[in-house]
Structure 1
Amino acid sequence: MTEHAQDALFRPVRAGNAFEETVERLMQSIRLGVVAPGERLPSERELATRLGVSRVTVREAIRSLQENHFVESRRGRYGGTFVNEVLPKSAPAKEFGDLHDVLTLRRVLETGAAETAAGRSLGPAERRGLRARLEEASTSTVAEYRRKDSRLHLAIAEATGSAALTAAVAESRMRANELLDHIPLLEPNLAHSNAQHERVIASILDGDPAGARRAMAEHLDGTASLLRGFLV
């Protein structure tokens, strides 16, 4: 692994989605062959320093890649985290269209939907509906998470009062789900997503359009990092 390649990939991540971006950087280093099969990743301490995250975040990211058979840990004097000799096959994003196009459209539609919903005077039924969908996603099993997550995002779109925007978000979500179904569900990401969902819904219910847009943008950026990491 050349020093130049290390500098390009293991640069500091943004604070809002530290886990997701750490996974993305590690997956990029593996997919691009910067760390080849059988080679050792930099130590947790070095990765934490270079990425500007905690060692806990690095450890969670490495554990997620271990659980999905991309890396393995070895003990002893010459131990560490090594890229597996045989890597899992993943469907290339090009099979589902342009990943950049999917992510760009989703970001535009869903940040706009969150902002618009927060700018409306929502009735009691709409407010109850948003809270109910949030609770569903927050307490969902891993197996049901994608479906409950989709229901929450569609409820936000419905809270805009625009049937056309809701239909556009639904179509965009279907394209995104085709991609999401080809990457693993990582429990640290689900916990982080639930916390981000709470901030989005709180901003909408508090009537804070700018806050709702920011919270949704940060949430979508985390998902985008994982999609780029596993599919590109």
Structure 2
Amino acid sequence: MDGAAGVTGAVSLLRPVRAGNAFEETVERLLQAIKLGVVGHGDKLPPERELAARLGISRVTLREAIRALQEAGYLDVRRGRYGGAFVVYRPPSPRKGDLRRAVNEMGESDLEDALTFRMAVECGAAQVLAGSRLGPRQRETLNARLSAVNDAAPADYRRMDIAFHLAIAELTGSPLLAGACADARLRVTDLLNAIPVLRPNIEHAAAQHAAIVEAILDGDPEAARRAVAEHLEGTAALLRGFLA
């Protein structure tokens, strides 16, 4: 599991796509990485050769996908020695009615399903990780992700929060579990982006994040599961509160 120490979310999202729908899946994977902040605003996508190899696609397919995202306003492609594909997407600032519109587009039943899915896979990831023998690099990574979300400015909080949660899944060493957790978070990302980042909520989440890390580092799977469940129940309650 030492190879997962440099967790950024790339393991979850920039993994090989299926050959039958290579273009469509490449667009989807890159868009997921952008929306989840794995590649943040102003950051450059990995070099073309490296990214094509990660996704298991041809460079022609990758260029087509990048061109599509450029036309959609997510990427800015620059030429020359210091060129590349740079992310220009920023999550929109919350506006009144955004959350209700997002839920209406999703459907109330799909919202509850998404929250249930997230609860199942993230609690499972924390249990698995807590039951693993973590080396110094894994412990360092987990503490670093915790510090990053605690130190994040409000404008960058959601991105650092995502990185923290994805780190737990990726450090299990299971690409399937990490991918499931990334998918679960993506399903609620537009909803979370539609509500303001509140200081009391950040402070409460910080205590819950610390409890999650403590349980994992102590090697207590049940405590890790309970800590994640409490945290996600709070997020679900916040969403329902803004919808009330």
Structure 2-normalised TM-score? 0.58
- Structure 1 gap segments, 5+ residues each: 1-67, 70-87
Q: 1:1-232 residue pairs with structure 2 within 5 A?
A: 88-92=96-100, 93-97=103-107, 98-231=110-243
Taking a change above 3 Å as real, the CA distance of residues 196 and 91 of structure 1, as seen in their structure-2 partners, is closer
Q: Which amino acid aligns with 2:204?
A: H
CA RMSD, Structure 1 to Structure 2 (Å): 1.6
- Displacement, 1:158? 1.1
Which is higher, the Rg of structure 1 or of structure 2?
1
Q: In 2, distance between residues paired with 1:159 and 1:211?
A: 18
Q: In 1, distance between residues paired with 2:216 and 2:114?
A: 24
Partner of 1:40: none
Q: Which amino acid aligns with 1:215?
A: A
Residues 118, 209 of structure 1: 8 Å contact kept: yes
- Displacement, 1:89? 2.5
Partner of 1:16: none
- Structure 2 gap segments, 5+ residues each: 1-93
- Displacement, 1:230? 1.3
